[in-house]
Amino acid sequence: MQEIIKIKLNKIIPNKSQPRLDFYDDSIEGLAESIKENGLLQPISVRKAGNKYELIAGERRFRACSLIGLKEISAIVYDKTDEESANLALIENIQREDLNAVEQALAMRRIMQQENLTQEELADRLGYKQSTVANKLRLLKLPDYIKNAISQGTITERHARALLKLPENKLEEVFMTITNRKYNVSKTEEYVKGITEKKKSKGVSGNVQVGLNTIKQAYDMCRKAGIDADFKTTDYADNLKITIKIKKLGGR
C-alpha cells in the first residue's frame, strides 16, 4: 500500500496530460464547502517531478483545497512514467465520471496513440466493452460546434450519437432544430430516423401528392393568365413548405 503524506499546495503542479478540460466553478465551490466541513476524505495522487509534485488524479480536490486556503493536502506519491501518469489520470477520471463525453474521447485517443493500443485493448484496461470505446471515439468526427455543445451540456452524448447518422449537409440544420425545440433523446432519434429513411410522410406521395398537384396547377393557371408569380417548395423532414409570391400591380 502506498504511503499517504502531506504536501504543500505550492509544491504541486498540474498534470500536463490532464484529460479534463472544463472545471465548473459551482462544482468546485460545492466540493470546497464539503472539504471545509468534513475534511478531505480521499487523498490526491501525485508523482515526483524534480523538486515538485505533478498531479496524477484529483485536480478538483486540489482546486477546492486551494479555494478554501489550505496550505497542505494529503497525497499518495506514485513512481510513474509520463504514459503511466496520463493513463492513471484518464482511468481515474472516467471511472469517477468526472469527464464529459468529448473529454473522454480525446483522452482515449491520446492514450491509444501514446501506448499504441487498439480499441479492444483500451476497453479491456478500462473495463468497458469495445463498442463503448468505439462510440466515444466516433464523437470526435462531429463538427466543433456540436462537440462544444456536448461539453457545455447543451446536448447529451446520446443526442450526438443520433446526429452521427446524418449526412454532413444535414448536420447543422438538424442540430439547430433539436436545440431550438429542446428535443429529448427519443424525439431526436425519431427526427433523425425520419430524415435518414426518407419516409413517405415527407409529403410527396398519396393524398398529399394530389394536394401538391392541385396547388401547382393553380399556380400554372395564374402564370398563363399573365400574373407575375413565383413558386417555391422547401422540403423538411416532417413537412413540405410551399411558398407562392404574387406581385401586386404597379409593384405596390
Catalytic residues: 59
114 closest CA partner among 87, 80, 92, 141: 87
Quick check: helix, strand or coil at residue 82? Answer: helix
Q: Are strands 240-246 and 72-78 parallel, antiparallel or unpaired?
A: unpaired
**Tally of residues, the chain:** 252
101 closest CA partner among 51, 135, 61: 135
At residue 230, φ and ψ (nearest 5 deg) are -120, 145
With b for 16 or more beta-carbon neighbours within 10 A and e for fewer, the 224-243 pattern comes to: eeeeeeeeeeeeebeeeeee
